[in-house]
Amino acid sequence: AAAAATDPEWVFRTEVMCQFVNMAGAGPFPNGSWQRTLDTKEARAERGVTRDPDRQACYGLSLSFDRTMAYVALAFWDTEDRIRVEIVARRAGVDWVAPWLNDPGRKVKPDYVAAQRRGAPISGEWELLEKLLTLHAWEGTEIAGWHGWFYDRVRAASVDESPADETDEEFRARVRFSHGVQPALDTAATTAQIGTVGGGWAIDLKGSPTDAAPLQAAIAAVGLLLTDPAPVYESAYEREGLLVLD
């Protein structure tokens, strides 16, 4: 019973019930749950919802399996106390990633950046990126752990998890997660294949029918955010410059 509550349906049916499950085109989340976590920019603007500047925001990086496209995801807490995740940049190659994040005009500084340290296409760029960014190594038990955290937040939006006659306001208070309309992320979230890893599961970039890297980047960003990383303090000298008196 515990496995049925915490694992994607295909994992439970395959590992516990010994059934073959065809996952082609289904994605890892309960049917319709990803769509129900959509919160458009227009709807958020009407409610006056913005990023909470007093709380951390985290980036996640990923590279497509064929290494042609890199993605940067941003996860943050908003003023409704909900997690928001978005793909904020995507371009060919990886050379642009560090300069883009380090741009002095970037509103959200790259103080918290996560990428898979081993076993993913982005891992091959670790030495390059580590020289230019302060990276959190996403590895070990965090791989399955962060996928599980992300899954739980999307699953909470499924019809089966939703009380009858729940209002939109009650839904938002219970499902503390949202995303916008982004075809690359939406496609990945509704088609990505997954495979078992350790005691859990993870996105299978190679086996997915479309590019699942946007979803992997989103999971990295949300996972790091949920670790509640320690605040990075900026000194007055760094913020305003050093004044030298003659």
230 backbone φψ class: left, alpha, beta (φ>0; ψ -120 to 50): beta
Q: How far apart are alpha carbons 70 and 85 in whole angstroms?
A: 17
* Residue that wins the pLDDT comparison between 124 and 82: 82
Q: How far apart are alpha carbons 2 and 169 in whole angstroms?
A: 29
pTM of the model: 0.85
Tens-digit pLDDT profile for residues 161-191: 999 999 999 999 999 999 999 999 999 999 9
The pLDDT of residue 48 is above 80: yes
**Cα 159 from chain centroid?**
22
What pLDDT is recorded for position 230?
84
Around Cβ 2, how many Cβ atoms within 10 Å?
6
Span 219-228, mean pLDDT? Answer: 97
Nearest Cα to 61, choosing from 3, 136, 149, 156? 136
What pLDDT is recorded for position 5?
54
Contact 180/40 with Cβ under 8 angstroms? yes
